[in-house]
Amino acid sequence: MRATVRKLARYFPTAIVSGRCREKVYSFVRLAELYYAGSHGMDIKGPSRSSQYNKFQTTQSSTLCQPATKFLPMINEVYEVLLEKTKFTPGANVENNKFCVSVHFRCVEEKKWSELAQKVRSVLKDYPKLQLTQGRKVLEIRPAIKWDKGKAVEFLLESLGYANFTDVFPVYIGDDRTDEDAFKVLADRGHGLGILVSRSPKETQASYSVREASEVMEFLQQLVEWKQLGGDRYYSNSADQICFV
């Protein structure tokens, strides 16, 4: 998958949008030529142009967007409180994602889910400037600002100079409930494509779906092959994609 995404980024501006902190996502992917939007888009950095395609590159260019910096001390405080609050719930995992805190309950017994959620809500009562959202088997505490993965997509399109061009076609691929914000942005624009990754039918703002990561990789490989074959020539109006994963 890493090799496929590296090839994709040679032809299309490519971004990874994640709920995890940007540094952690970059440590997983380790491709300096991508845009990284961590903490649901509240921490965005662009690619390192000085050594693009250098697989040993470990640094990135300056920060593009951090709309919730003032919340950092509060997020760190809530993280410590939640660690203490959930330490007696087997399987619970509290993760500090810099601009948000994630409480994973994938490994918690299902009969304990409601109890865990109540513990999280009890902590948030003391922090009215934070809000609780839910992803795929994760509770997420974020700053109560109008910012999400959809806003991150809008910011990236704007900062790249693509927001008002009809010959730019954004593609967003995601498998989490929080990706619906990005799917909705593209649906509302009436220009672009959301692709849900799911083995079962779900209500979604996405236009299409694939079943698993291997099919995502196949789709990305086909995009690369289309570009290599001069795909733009098959259309009277050439289209440039921008891909979000």
pLDDT digits (tens, 9 = 90+) for 6-30: 999 999 999 999 999 999 999 999 9
DSSP 8-class letter at 66: -
Residue 195 near residue 209 (C-beta atoms within 8 A): yes
Task: Collect contacts of 185-190 with beta carbons under 8 A, ≥24 apart.
Answer: 185/150, 185/151, 185/153, 185/154, 186/153
pLDDT band with cut points at 50, 70 and 90 for residue 76: very high
pLDDT digits (tens, 9 = 90+) for 117-163: 999 999 999 999 999 999 889 999 999 999 999 999 999 999 888 98
3-state secondary structure of 130: strand
- pLDDT for 199 beyond 50: yes
CATH topology of domain 70-143: Alpha-Beta Plaits (3.30.70)
At residue 61, the pLDDT reads: 53
Residue 151 near residue 41 (C-beta atoms within 8 A): yes
Supply the pTM of this predicted model: 0.80
The CATH number of 2-61+148-244 is which of 1.20.1270.10, 3.40.50.1000, 3.40.190.10, 3.20.10.10? 3.40.50.1000
**So where are the chain's domains?**
2-61+148-244, 70-143
Specify the length of the chain in residues.
245
Mean pLDDT over 162-175 rounds to 91
pLDDT band with cut points at 50, 70 and 90 for residue 235: very low
Element (H or E) spanning 223, and its range?
Answer: helix 213-228
Nearest-angstrom CA–CA distance, 198 and 210? 6
Nearest-angstrom CA–CA distance, 175 and 157? 21
At residue 215, the pLDDT reads: 97
At residue 237, the pLDDT reads: 47
Burial 118-133 (b: 16+ CB within 10 A, else e): ebbeebbeebeebebb
Residue 130 near residue 123 (C-beta atoms within 8 A): no
Domains 2-61+148-244 and 70-143 agree in fold: no
Average confidence score pLDDT of the chain: 89
Beta strands 101-104 and 130-135: pairing type? unpaired
What is the percentage of the chain residues whose pLDDT exceeds 70? 88
At residue 208, the pLDDT reads: 96
